[in-house]
Structure 1
Amino acid sequence: MPTVLITGASRGIGLELVRQYRADDWEVIATCRDPDAAPDLQGSGAEVHALDVTDDAALAALGRTLAGRTIDVLINNAGIYPLKGPQGAFGDIPVEPWMEALRTNVIAPWKVAETFIGNLEKAQRPVLATISSKMGSIADASSPGSVVYRSSKTGVNMVIKGLSLELEARGVICLALHPGWVKTDMGGPNALITTQQSATGLREVIAGASMADTGTFRSYDGAPIPW
């Protein structure tokens, strides 16, 4: 039975990924900040662990707990979108939310990779996938606003590219994935696709990836996205 580790799995895309992998008889290890406040995750059949991906001590502790186990797919899904709407306009962006976005969206995926690289190396075809966003594409940026979130996703794209170079010799396929504009708390009610559509597409991209795809930025439908 293959195993997937999914961070930020209490709701939205993360929770739907848990459900779909479980439905396909995968062993699912799921993390979130507060499992007691995540009844849907608790009832999903996944092995649930508390984890704040920005907490180095907690991350190290989970690494020790899972030491020696094989992880075939690791999905960095945990992320935040601070300063929505009119917040964060030019001239009025507070520093701390920006730093929090960088800690969560950029630095944490690298630290997660460092923590579980031994688990991934035990798999025959290990995949390290990180949920990025088309909003992180510099080539696609055509309007002002959302610079805090955008810059964090641009940053994590570089992290994934860097990880692909670091881990190529170890056979780990590293992917930056755009989940689409999804109807979640983050995406809002006007989004274009459901969590089911996004998760289904993401899983297909992950399942079909090879080392020829490592270090690439792709949409949930498989289409390449310019950096």
Structure 2
Amino acid sequence: MRYAITGASRGLGLEFVRQLLNRGDSIDAGARSPAEARQLQGLAQDSRGRLRIHTLDVSNPRSVAAFAAEVGQGQPVDVLINNAGVFGKNEPLGRLDFEDVEKTLTTNALGPLRLTSALLPALRRGEARRVVHITSVLGSIGDNAMGGYYGYRLSKAALNMGMRNMHLELRAEGFVTIVINQVWVQTDMGGPQAPLRPEESVHAMLQVIDGLSVEQSGRFFNYDGSEIPW
């Protein structure tokens, strides 16, 4: 199958690319600075043409349009994984950096919405018609018992609602779209103290993605396939 993956230069995005290549899939990977993505470039060199790297900043409309034009080109995309994201600052209400909150919302919520819209023709040509958004349990309203992380929580809650709208609009065409919680992982964002390694998280998420049915579309999953309250 052919995948499009954002935020592929490091962390979970890079691990998605690595595991998908190992099992024989083809990938169009987006990265803000491809020239600096040395591990990703190394994977491309060994991929026999199955990995193509593109410049992509999901917060920039022109970058998204260019990526979609390069990836589409009359070809199908079977699965889109909207992985790119930022964490932003964690500040109390009285000291919120609203520019940072706006940046976090633009990247984490509008970015996946904008890219999915731009790639919709290619996704319609695909057989799987799956759209997966990497979210966070911090976007769950029902699970929020500690507060904090205003920008990140807002952005992921908005992403979750955007996914639900996509599900309702596209389900008649056979699309399956979900949000999935990556859990706390040992990445640059998560830090070394996180309990789960990227390869463990991605392996589990791919099992969920591979096994998705039409009946599961529109739902909020944990990385292990269990469901998370809205």
Whether these two folds match at TM > 0.5 is: yes
1:53 aligns with 2:52: no
1:25 aligns with 2:30: no
Shift of 1:145: 1.3
Deviations 1:88-140 (A, max 9, x none): 12200011000001100011111111111111111222110000001111111
Instruction: Write out aligned runs for 1:153-192 (5 A).
Output: 153-192=156-195
Q: Which residue among 186, 196, 200 is the counterpart of 2:199?
A: 196
Deviations 1:147-169 (A, max 9, x none): 21111111100011011111112
Shift of 1:69: 1.1
Unaligned runs of 5+ in 2: 45-50
Q: Which residue among 56, 69, 82 is the counterpart of 1:76?
A: 82
Alignment match, 2:220: 217
Unaligned runs of 5+ in 1: none
Aligned alpha-carbon RMSD (Å): 0.9
Which secondary structure does the structure 1 equivalent of 2:156 belong to?
Answer: helix
Tell me, in whole angstroms, the C-alpha distance in 1 between the residues paired with 2:104 and 2:35.
Answer: 24
1:126 aligns with 2:129: yes
Which secondary structure does the structure 1 equivalent of 2:165 belong to?
Answer: helix
- Could you tell me whether the CA contact under 8 Å between 2:83 and 2:134 is conserved in 1? yes
- Could you tell me whether the CA contact under 8 Å between 1:88 and 1:148 is conserved in 2? no
Q: How many residues align?
A: 223
Alignment match, 2:96: 93
Shift of 1:58: 1.6
Alignment match, 2:69: 64
Alignment match, 1:38: 37
- Could you tell me whether the CA contact under 8 Å between 2:180 and 2:222 is conserved in 1? yes
The runs of at least 4 aligned residues of structure 1 exceeding 4 Å deviation read none
- Could you tell me whether the CA contact under 8 Å between 2:140 and 2:229 is conserved in 1? yes
**After alignment, is 13-22 or 137-146 more displaced?**
137-146
Which secondary structure does the structure 2 equivalent of 1:28 belong to?
Answer: strand
